[in-house]
Structure 1
Amino acid sequence: MGTSWTSQKPVPDVDLTQKTVIVTGANTGIGYETAKTIAQLGAKVIVACRSEAKANEAMERMKMEHSEEKADDKKSKVEIKANDLDVEFMTLDLSSIASTMSFVEEFKAKRLPLHILVCNAGMAYGGEVKTADGFELHFQVNYLSHFLLTLHLLPVLKASRGNAKIILVSSMAYRGAGWHEDNMQSINKGQLSKYGSTKLYQIMEMFTLAEKLDGFGIGVFSLHPGFVDTDIVKRENQQVSGSMKFFVGMLSSMGLARNSFDGALTTIHAAVNPQYDGKTALYLENSQPTSLHNPLATDRDKQEFLWKYSLDCLKDYITEDTLKELTSH
């Protein structure tokens, strides 16, 4: 088709046995393909999402597809390392601070290591809605709860002893995002503005985290997965305009949308490709580092403002001991 992502690198031939990975939003779309592929490489994968029923359905499908691909390697897009997939559901509702904190405590109680955290879950076109915690819905789901999750899981990532990774799945929608210090949650702004701002924040968070975690052996990455034909604008319970639905359908019918696996490739490379071991603060598109096209993303003063604003939003859930994990070896 002549589309640029056809030149993406294949899945690296790596063995992730003894590794533990969390993938948020792993029951559908690129999260599903990310979780399945990483599990096929041998890792234990935590499928972190809201619905246990949907997660169980997704995990059963992963296992069925895995069996088929093991039996016929022509069907497989990865050098399979796992005999059986080790995938486990854990409840995580990112629209709820309580759910996010419960997830953290329950994961820590398992006393598992954590080598890779993939912050993949996201939403768009959710209307003008505030969560029960009082935050704008897109801001909390796409950015703030992942921020909280990451800070509280830092001790476990640090304990993995090198080459741990945090992956923040952003979007090229960051390119058009603006900056409004008096309205960081984009309240009463357009749906695309809300979404784009949260994706910009993820990239800005990458830079701040990478700087604060320098010397800890934790790489922080962000990326654009590409337009995927099962993209979040098509999910249920989202207020997508007729024109946007038409646009999505047109791109898909013209073959200009990636399938979910191709969309997941950039995330997979960021998470498991050994060429990124020891590296950090890289933004990827088409499975390789690329330059950023919005100067807001690299503005250090604005990065610091966002960091302080985020901590203030979560002041009841982030203690001084939590923040010490950013400075203590």
Structure 2
Amino acid sequence: MASASAFNSLVHPAVFTLFDAPCAVLWSVVSRPLVAAGRLLGVLSTPMLPDVDLTDKVCIVTGSNTGIGKRTALHLARLGGTVILACRSQEKAAAARDEITAEVQAGGRVAKLELMSLDLADTHSVRSFVSDFKAKHDRLDVLVNNAGLNAGGRTKQGLGLVFASNFVGHFLLTKLLQDTITATPGARVVNLASLMHHYGRVDWERACWGNDDWKGFSSYQASKLAMVLFSQELRRRFRRAGGTATSFAVNPGAVRSDIWRFVPPPFKYVYDAVMRAGFLNVEQGAFTSVYAAAAPLDALGGPDGPLYWQPYLLPLGLAHPFEVAGPFVGATAAAPAVPPDHEREGARLWEECTRMVEAAEAAQGGGSGAAGAAAASAR
């Protein structure tokens, strides 16, 4: 296996607090009134979600029982798609289904929703989900890898909970569904990244196993950088397979959602105040996901168009540091922050995660041999 890249992180995390966040807040304070005035005068248009027909299209949205995922599922269902709510809690998923159904029906349309159990922190649950899905469906037009968290802990297989839930589970899900996706004309995979990918590091083994010095936010940042590189690698693999599938990475923005529910007091009160003052609501946060999933392909620049989409007005097209906050403009393409050797790094990410999933499963099952040894040594 190739050694870890010399690339450590694109931006040191301390820069976020000392420079990036203050710059973004200043830009937001200055620009939001100007954007509001421009819309009032008709110079700037109000962002509009795509109005397309997804009838006969099959969509999966992970973590669709709450927040951005629920709004994403709602809009895909409103457009006529058959939407699978892939959630860990079936009780919460059922409640979300009822709410989405009522809202779609209020608009005079029929909601086609299915509940399926999926715990992204458990590789066996992922495998079971894929098996059940393929038994019911022979196509997959849209896969939105949305679910995420920022709480610590470990999975049943011993992986770091944050990196496993945010990335490894989605990686395995997409990999197992890759044949179905490739066989579906025009299929799309939408991976939820974040502005925090700018601060991620590429030591995938350490992130995956959740070593002591990688608890909490370091793993979150790495998981979001992994989502961007994974999106690039998926595109390359789709092209080699000869199909018409493509993939995108999207930043929903800084959103008032319950992903922050694990923030402990007294920090939670500070986060609540900041969220109320400057964060996007979940409807705005779902915009980039829905846009990448459903907009006409030419609006996205074609299957090989811009990889990364984010929701803010960027001065002179500069994503960093203005991607932290600003006036909401829907979905605009931006250049993601990736290592100089991003193609090799994306391939290494795929290979290492494949190896670590196999090692974790072998170790959980009392496996021996190379896989079990790899799991032991990785810890």
Does the pair score TM above 0.5?
yes
Aligned ranges 1:170-181 → 2 under 5 Å = 170-180=193-203
CA distance in 2, matches of 1:174, 1:24: 20
Does the 8 A contact of 2:64 with 2:70 survive in 1? yes
CA distance in 2, matches of 1:221, 1:272: 12
Residues matched between the structures, number: 296
What residue number does 1:315 align with? 358
Unaligned residue ranges in structure 1 (runs of 5+): 71-82, 318-329
Superposition deviation, residue 296 in structure 1: 2.6
Superposition deviation, residue 117 in structure 1: 0.5
Moved more, 260-269 or 278-287: 278-287
Amino acid at match of 2:211: I
Superposition deviation, residue 8 in structure 1: 6.6
Are 2:61 and 1:39 equivalent residues in the alignment? Answer: no
Q: Secondary structure of 2:358's match?
A: coil
Does the 8 A contact of 2:87 with 2:93 survive in 1? yes
CA distance in 2, matches of 1:298, 1:289: 21
Are 2:190 and 1:167 equivalent residues in the alignment? Answer: yes
Are 2:332 and 1:288 equivalent residues in the alignment? Answer: yes
**Stretches of 4+ aligned residues off by more than 4 angstroms:** 3-8
What residue number does 1:9 align with? 47
Note closer, same or farther for the CA distance 1:8–1:298 as it changes in structure 2 (3 Å cut).
Answer: farther
Amino acid at match of 2:347: E
Aligned ranges 1:244-255 → 2 under 5 Å = 244-254=267-277
Relative to its length, the structure with more helix (as a share) is 2
Note closer, same or farther for the CA distance 1:8–1:21 as it changes in structure 2 (3 Å cut).
Answer: farther
Superposition deviation, residue 13 in structure 1: 1.3
CA distance in 2, matches of 1:168, 1:223: 6
Superposition deviation, residue 20 in structure 1: 0.5
Does the 8 A contact of 1:17 with 1:43 survive in 2? yes
What residue number does 1:302 align with? 345
1:213-256 per-position Cα deviation (integer Å, ceiling 9, x unaligned): 1142111100110111114012xxx3x233541332122332x1
**Aligned match for 1:219, one of 220, 223, 246:** 246
CA distance in 1, matches of 2:292, 2:115: 23
What residue number does 1:271 align with? 293
Aligned ranges 1:1-329 → 2 under 5 Å = 2=32, 9-70=47-108, 83-124=109-150, 126-127=151-152, 129-161=153-185, 163-180=186-203, 183-185=206-208, 186-188=210-212, 189-214=214-239, 215-234=242-261, 238=262, 240-254=263-277, 256-274=278-296, 275-276=299-300, 277-279=302-304, 282-286=307-311, 287-292=331-336, 294-296=337-339, 299-315=342-358
Superposition deviation, residue 200 in structure 1: 0.6
Superposition deviation, residue 199 in structure 1: 0.6
RMSD between superposed Cα atoms in Å: 2.2
Does the 8 A contact of 1:139 with 1:198 survive in 2? yes
Q: Secondary structure of 1:16's match?
A: coil
TM value normalised by structure 1: 0.84
Superposition deviation, residue 190 in structure 1: 4.2
CA distance in 2, matches of 1:198, 1:243: 26
Note closer, same or farther for the CA distance 1:166–1:180 as it changes in structure 2 (3 Å cut).
Answer: same
Does the 8 A contact of 1:96 with 1:133 survive in 2? yes
1:155-211 per-position Cα deviation (integer Å, ceiling 9, x unaligned): 1112222x1100101111111112336623352224111101101111111111111
Amino acid at match of 1:296: P
Does the 8 A contact of 1:266 with 1:284 survive in 2? yes
Q: Secondary structure of 1:220's match?
A: strand
What residue number does 2:367 align with? none
Amino acid at match of 2:237: K
Does the 8 A contact of 2:59 with 2:83 survive in 1? yes
1:267-291 per-position Cα deviation (integer Å, ceiling 9, x unaligned): 0000000123533561110112101
What residue number does 1:77 align with? none
1:112-154 per-position Cα deviation (integer Å, ceiling 9, x unaligned): 4210100000111x22x22111211111111111111101111
CA distance in 2, matches of 1:181, 1:114: 29
CA distance in 1, matches of 2:341, 2:191: 16
Q: Secondary structure of 1:184's match?
A: helix
Aligned-pair identity in percent equals 31
Moved more, 305-314 or 265-274: 305-314
Structure 1 or 2, whichever has the larger Rg, is 2
